[in-house]
Amino acid sequence: MARYQRVRGMRDILPPDAGRWRKVETVIVDVLQRYGYREIRLPLVEATELFARGVGEATDMVEKEMYTFPDRKGKSLSLRPEGTAGCVRAGIETGLLRGSARRLWYHGSMFRYERPQKGRNREHTQIGAEAFGMAGPDIDAEILTMLARAFGELGVAEDLTLELNTLGAGADRARYRQALTDYLTPRADALDEASRLRLATNPLRILDSKVASTRELVADAPNIHDHLSEDSRAHFDGLRARLDHAGIPYRLSPRLVRGLDYYTHTVFEWTTTALGAQNAVCSGGRYDGLVERLGGRATPGAGFGLGLDRLVLLEEARAPGQPAHVDVYVAFAGAAHGPRAAQVAETLRDATRLRVLCHAGEGGLKSQLRAADKSGARWAVVVGDEEARREGALLKPLRDAEAGQILLGMDALVEQLAANANAAANAA
């Protein structure tokens, strides 16, 4: 039993998995950059007040899931539970939102003190993006199109369903909230306990309750879509038309309301049935009032957070197996040839982009070749007495039963490996 264990809900991501993570992150980030989004790096720690004000006092996230602690002078700080509030804070504080860099992406850990379960950890990693200063539905559509592309390129599109809804503008939402409260208050006795509490604090959340009796009650509740202003309706219709035009399928989910207070108009969630109860892989929407609420000048915004822990699980199910981490394994026959082997490896690294692992430490040639095989390398290069005398190295293909090993001079060795590597790259 190890003396120290990782803290509950925190994870180590080990070699084969870490490679998968990097691959997923690379695909997503590549897509974001191709849409002109630029990276912003943000602190893990913010003033607690920022989240209380930005995400909302009455949200579960703020009420009971934050890692909150006083610093040495007693100021209340929190580990970020989500990325948007910090991004907006940075945008206001630095003046970034007044410039032209209005499409931003970030990557990093988020912390929420929850009970761990499948697809849910206390530290999880998100890639998120925010687009500021664009009020029309075109940017909402761009974000969803971009995500659809990313999921497609990752090969997980079939696992995901886009659920879409609108909450209307702030005024619509207030009006709807009143209508909903008016409907539910006389029926409060029929609500489950949690929903009854929310009636006063956050009645919209009652809509997505999973309690059967509450769902029944809510089925006949007023619909947000009947409370939208002309403009709000136009915004949503505009978004839908663009999605249809782009060929992006979605499901209208009138009860999708999201657990964060800052959303207005568009809200969406990409969900999956492949991960058990934690079905949201990516979600976001529009938050036109947030910048102002956090002290900036009124600026519309829209964005999303994408849960990498869950996305990696999906990608792994779709593309199992682990790719080789080495192309060439350099071995030596006799410890005296170790330095020369290292030299040969350097020569290969100079001349090619191949991943070259040079054996180090103990072990006879036999065990070195065993290691070469296990590494997944396509070639072993062996250096020994004979090779040293001929100022070359032995090239031994490991994945091609037909091919035999040949002793080559250094120039020929480099040439052979470079040519084969290019051929393989072109084939792939």
Partner RNA sequence: GUGGGUGUAGCUCAGCAGGUAGAGCCCCGGAUUGUGGAUCCGGUGGUCGUGGGUUCAAGUCCCAUCAUCCACCCCA
Chain residues 167-206 in contact with RNA, contact rule CB under 7 A: 194, 205
The residue with tokens 């909450």 is: 167
Nearer to RNA, 145 or 238 (CB): 145
Could you say which of 210, 220, 247, 425 contacts RNA (CB under 7 A)? 210
Window of 89-97, 98-106, 253-261, 295-303 that interacts with RNA by CB under 7 A: 253-261
CB of 144 to RNA, least distance (A): 13
- Tell me the three state secondary structure of residue 396: strand
Which residues within the stretch 326-345 sit at the binding site for RNA (CB under 7 A)? Answer: 333
CA 83 to CA 301: how far, in whole Å? Answer: 13
CB-based contact 90:42 (threshold 8 Å): yes
Window of 23-31, 137-145, 315-323, 361-369 that interacts with RNA by CB under 7 A: 361-369
Number of chain positions touching RNA (CB under 7 A)? 71
**Where do the H-state alpha helices sit in 102-169?**
137-154
Instruction: Compute CA distances 167 → 84, 205, 228, 308, 422, whole Å.
Output: 18, 12, 8, 26, 53
CB of 394 to RNA, least distance (A): 5
Nearer to RNA, 101 or 274 (CB): 274
CB of 231 to RNA, least distance (A): 26
Q: Where are the beta strands (DSSP E) in 287-348?
A: 301-307, 328-332
CA 2 to CA 145: how far, in whole Å? Answer: 47
**CA-wise closest residue to 255 among 220, 207, 212, 191:** 207
CA 30 to CA 35: how far, in whole Å? Answer: 9
Which residues within the stretch 71-130 sit at the binding site for RNA (CB under 7 A)? Answer: 82, 110, 112, 114-121, 124, 126
Instruction: Compute CA distances 351 → 99, 326, 346, 388, 412, whole Å.
Output: 44, 16, 9, 20, 12
Which residues within the stretch 371-410 sit at the binding site for RNA (CB under 7 A)? Answer: 371-374, 382, 384-387, 394, 396-399, 401, 405
CB of 33 to RNA, least distance (A): 21
Nearer to RNA, 9 or 170 (CB): 9
CB of 258 to RNA, least distance (A): 6
- Tokens (6 digits) for 151: 């999921």
Which residues within the stretch 10-49 sit at the binding site for RNA (CB under 7 A)? Answer: none
Contact map string, positions 294 to 313, toward RNA, x by CB under 7 A: -----------xxx-xx---
The upper half-sphere exposure of residue 217, i.e. CA atoms within 13 Å in the direction of its Cβ, equals 23
Which residues within the stretch 135-174 sit at the binding site for RNA (CB under 7 A)? Answer: none
> Pairing between strand 38-39 and 103-111?
parallel
Nearer to RNA, 353 or 399 (CB): 399
Could you say which of 181, 223, 278, 347 contacts RNA (CB under 7 A)? 278
